């Protein structure tokens, strides 16, 4: 229903973010270091207001608006055609289940799920560092490498199959066309600036990808890659017997205990991912409504014996995520 879609205030913020994103891309084309620096942050705000909502059909009652708004993730965040099956069909149905959730495998051989078997039992290297270094390059994978594997019919590294396929209805020529903006961003600085201004050129080349990768990795992983959101941390009871309660258990919320303004700002900047359990329980509601309904949602969970996993803020959530990743990937002695 229209009441569950984006609010007027959400659309105003979206318009402002879109103008800011266009300005940053214009500055990047002209070789502005400041515009390039701001680009990942401003573009992320636009993405936070459009792509995730549109993918779930939450932005508008008009499916055409939802379809085209998804492409604001291009060219430096992710390819929509790759994102749809792994996010909607895999991640949202089987959150943190390493056998079915594609998100558990993007940082391989780093282990995301606590139940995931180790790929190299003899290694003395903590693969938590693999999670970290891949976090600097995530969007190169989601924007270019993953769709290229489909085009070339190649398997995902460390696996025998491609774990990030596209919908069968998308022709390869359409997938290729969707890659062209990302290829342009990758090549343009090398041609236009690196030959005569190498420092500036390499900054224009590297920072949009690295900046967006760090933002995207933290925003998307912090609510699920946690010790207390793993299947092994389930308290049993309602959490084990109900699909919705399992979705809630597999998610961590943060910045939900402060004043209304703080919660609203964080929700807008994170696409509602700070209230991830609410989103996973009711994925058809736009994040603009989350601050208003979260308290009632938490009371419903309490009445049904479902415990919400929470952290104080984004900083504490990231710290807890990294602590879990390094602990889960701690080298074990050969037995």
In this prediction, residues 195-202 reach a mean pLDDT of 97
Q: Are 45 and 270 in contact (CB under 8 A)?
A: no
- Does residue 46 sit in the same domain as residue 89? no
The verdict on residue 334 lying in a domain is no
pLDDT band at 333 (very low <50, low <70, confident <90, very high): very low
- The residues with which 309 forms a beta bridge, in sequence order, are 252
pLDDT in tens, 129-153: 999 999 999 999 999 999 999 898 8
SS3 letters for the chain? Answer: CHHHCCCHHHHHHHHHHHHHHHHHHHHHHHCCHHHHHHHHHHHHHHHHHHHHHHHCCCCCCCHHHHHHHHHHHCCCCCCHHHHHHHHHHHHCCCCCCCCCCHHHHCCCCCCCCCCCCCCCCCCCCCCHHHHHHHHCCHHHHHHHHHHHHHHHCCCCCCCCCCCCCCCCCCCHHHHHHHHHHHHHHHHHHHHHCCCCCHHHHHHHHHHHHHHHHHHHHHHHHCCCCCHHHCHHHCCCCHHHHCHHHHHHHCCEEECCCCCHHHHHHHHHHCCCCCEHHHHHHCCCCCHHHHHHHHHHHHHHHHHCCCCCEEECCHHHHHHHHHHHHHHHCCCCCCC
Cβ proximity of 229 and 251 under 8 Å: yes
The domain boundary, picked from 191, 221, 251, lies at 221
Domain membership flag for residue 33 = yes
Return the pLDDT at 69.
Answer: 96
**What mean pLDDT comes out for the span 207-227?**
95
Q: Answer whether residue 122 shows pLDDT above 80.
A: no
Q: In this structure, are 65 and 6 located in the same domain?
A: yes
Work out the number of other CB atoms within 10 angstroms of the CB of residue 22.
13
Q: Who wins on pLDDT, 213 or 162?
A: 213
* Number of residues in the chain: 335
Backbone angles phi, psi at 238, to 5 degrees: -60, -35
Residues 104 and 215 in one domain: yes
Give the model confidence (pLDDT) of 261-301 as tens digits: 888 889 989 988 999 999 999 999 999 999 999 999 999 99
pLDDT over 70 percentage in the chain: 96
- Please state whether beta strands 309-311 and 252-254 pair in parallel, antiparallel, or not at all (unpaired): parallel
Looking at the structure, tell me whether residues 96 and 170 fall in a common domain. yes
pLDDT of 74 strictly over 80: yes
pTM score: 0.91
Domain membership of residue 17 as a residue range: 1-73
Q: How confident is the model at residue 332 (pLDDT cuts 50, 70, 90)?
A: confident
Residue at 15 is within a domain: yes
Q: What is the pLDDT of residues 29-71, one digit of tens each?
A: 999 999 999 999 999 999 999 999 999 999 999 999 999 999 9
| 89/172 same-domain check | yes
328 falls within a domain: no
Pairwise pLDDT comparison (26 vs 125), residue with the higher score: 26
- Per-residue confidence (pLDDT) for residue 238, from 0 to 100: 54
Domain co-membership, 80 together with 66: no
Q: Examine the domain organization and report whether 112 and 180 are in the same domain.
A: yes
The predicted pLDDT at position 328 comes to 92
- On whether residue 320 sits in a domain, the answer given is no
> Pick from 78, 92, 132: which is nearest to 110 by CA?
132
Is pLDDT of 324 > 70? Answer: yes
Q: Is residue 227 part of a domain?
A: no
Among the three residues 55, 73, 91, which one is the final residue of a domain in this structure? Answer: 73
Residue 125 maps to a domain: yes
Tokens of 224: 């699920």
Number of domains within the chain: 3
What percent of the chain shows pLDDT beyond 90? 69
Q: Are 48 and 97 part of one and the same domain?
A: no
- Answer whether 103's CB lies under 8 Å from 91's CB: yes
Q: Are 206 and 99 found together in one domain? A: yes
CA distance 330 to 53: 36
Residue range 158-179: mean pLDDT, rounded: 88
Mark whether 90 and 129 lie in a shared domain: yes
324 domain-assigned? no
Shared domain check, 214 and 99: yes
Judgement on whether residues 47 and 117 belong to the same structural domain of the protein = no
Sign of CA dihedral 150, 151, 153, 158: negative
C-beta of residue 185 within 8 angstroms of C-beta of residue 105 = no
């Amino acid at each position: 229903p229209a009441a569950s879609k984006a609010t007027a205030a959400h659309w105003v913020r979206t318009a402002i973010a879109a103008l800011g994103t266009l300005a940053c891309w214009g500055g990047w084309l002209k070789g502005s270091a400041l515009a390039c620096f701001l680009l990942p942050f401003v573009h992320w705000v636009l993405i936070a207001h459009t792509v995730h909502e549109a993918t779930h059909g939450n932005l508008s009652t008009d499916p055409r608006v939802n379809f085209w708004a998804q492409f604001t993730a291009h060219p430096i965040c992710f390819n929509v055609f790759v994102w749809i099956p792994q996010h909607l069909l895999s991640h949202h149905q089987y959150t943190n289940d390493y056998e079915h959730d594609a998100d558990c495998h993007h940082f391989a051989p780093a282990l995301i799920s606590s139940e995931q078997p180790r790929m190299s039992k003899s290694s003395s290297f903590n693969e938590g560092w693999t999670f970290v270094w891949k976090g600097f390059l995530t969007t190169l994978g989601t924007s270019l490498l993953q769709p290229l594997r489909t085009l070339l019919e190649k398997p995902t590294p460390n696996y025998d199959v491609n774990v990030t396929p596209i919908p069968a209805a998308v022709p390869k020529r359409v997938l290729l066309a969707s890659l062209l903006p990302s290829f342009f961003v990758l090549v343009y600085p090398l041609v236009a600036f690196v030959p005569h201004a190498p420092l500036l050129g390499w900054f224009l080349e590297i920072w949009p990808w690295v900046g967006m990768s760090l933002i995207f990795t933290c925003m998307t992983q912090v609510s699920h890659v946690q010790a207390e959101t793993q299947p092994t941390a389930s308290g049993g009871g309602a959490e084990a017997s109900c699909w919705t309660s399992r979705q809630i258990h597999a998610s961590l919320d943060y910045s939900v205990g402060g004043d209304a303004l703080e919660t609203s700002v964080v929700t807008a900047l994170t696409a509602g991912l700070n209230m991830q359990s609410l989103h996973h329980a009711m994925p058809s509601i736009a994040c603009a409504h989350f601050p208003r309904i979260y308290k009632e949602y938490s009371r419903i969970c309490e009445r049904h014996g479902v415990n919400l996993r929470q952290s104080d803020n984004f900083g504490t959530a990231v710290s807890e995520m990294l602590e879990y990743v390094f602990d889960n990937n701690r080298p074990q002695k050969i037995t």
